[in-house]
Amino acid sequence: MPKSRSYEEFVDKFKSEKTTGDCYTPPEVYDAVLAWVRDEYGGRHGVPIVCPFWPGADYGRVEYPDGCVVVDNPPFSILAKIIRFYQAHGIRFFLFAPGLTLFSVMVPGVTCIAADLNVTYANGAPKETHEHELETAERLRANGVRCMFQIDHEYVKGDDGRLVDRGLADLADGTELKSLHACSSKNTVFSHMKNASRKRDAVRVVFDNFHNRGMSDDELAKCLRHAQAFKRGTVYVINSDGILVRIK
């Protein structure tokens, strides 16, 4: 192994794991958003722009000059609180966040604009693709099930007192969505079940087999009946005809 590789591995051990709340905006994306905001809302170049969200910062104590506009990418876990703060203090703002986060923290008096694009954040945190989840939600809706997405993680205090990011179910009623694409492995299905069992509020899992060419509906159902994990909840499949079927 080359020397530099082992050095990088050594250094990597000391890097903390990034969460979606630590996603930094690439400068060129920030510039594009700011230019769009100025163009769209007719902001003059003299208007002070404030970016209050940085590690260790406290947005409540930052100075907001008269007439300023906050244009920034806030910590998503406290987005609703931030919005209410700006509303209460009459501070204008344009905040950006992942689409599903935006719509799960609807605050009266705020307009949400959903851009149809995926973003890779500057810290290299995994790109969040929700498109397949939205497609699965559409299929659930066609089966008469209402879907309300929620922020699918929470911050809890770990044993050492530090905040830990823990996963929650995709939907507010405790439904976890698993969309299968080219999945032919029982182990992958088992690990999806294990993953669902780790989500505190998950009470059911829906496997969407509609687009999966790796496993027939019968094979998937058999595999799910054998799975040991997630004994506390119910399991459904959306089959290749788009029909929702309860498996166990």
Ligand X SMILES: C[S@@+](CC[C@H](N)C(=O)[O-])C[C@H]1O[C@@H](n2cnc3c(N)ncnc32)[C@H](O)[C@@H]1O
Contacts to ligand X by CB under 6 A: 21-25, 51-55, 57-59, 72-75
CB of 58 to ligand X, least distance (A): 5
CB of 93 to ligand X, least distance (A): 13
Distance CA 85, CA 216 (A): 51
Distance CA 161, CA 113 (A): 37
Q: Which is nearer to ligand X, 60 or 194 (CB)?
A: 60
Q: Which is nearer to ligand X, 59 or 93 (CB)?
A: 59
Please give the full DSSP string across 105-160, using - where no structure is assigned: T--TT------S-----TT-PPPP--HHHHHHHHHHHHTT----B---EEEEE-TT
* Residue closest to 210 by CA, chosen among 232, 185, 188, 178: 178
Helix (H, G, I), strand (E, B) or coil at 161: coil
Question: Is beta strand 234-238 parallel, antiparallel or unpaired with respect to 244-246?
Answer: antiparallel
Q: Which is nearer to ligand X, 51 or 168 (CB)?
A: 51
User: How many Cα atoms sit within 13 Å of 70 on the Cβ side?
Assistant: 23
Distance CA 113, CA 109 (A): 13
CB of 119 to ligand X, least distance (A): 11
CB 64 within 8 A of CB 85: no
Residues near 196 by Cβ (< 8 Å), separated by ≥ 6?
169, 176, 178, 202, 205, 229, 230, 233
H/E element, 207: strand 204-208
CB of 50 to ligand X, least distance (A): 11
Distance CA 132, CA 108 (A): 28
Q: Which is nearer to ligand X, 83 or 189 (CB)?
A: 83
CB of 24 to ligand X, least distance (A): 3
Q: Which is nearer to ligand X, 23 or 171 (CB)?
A: 23
CB of 17 to ligand X, least distance (A): 14
Q: Which is nearer to ligand X, 123 or 234 (CB)?
A: 123
Q: Which is nearer to ligand X, 55 or 108 (CB)?
A: 55
CB of 74 to ligand X, least distance (A): 6
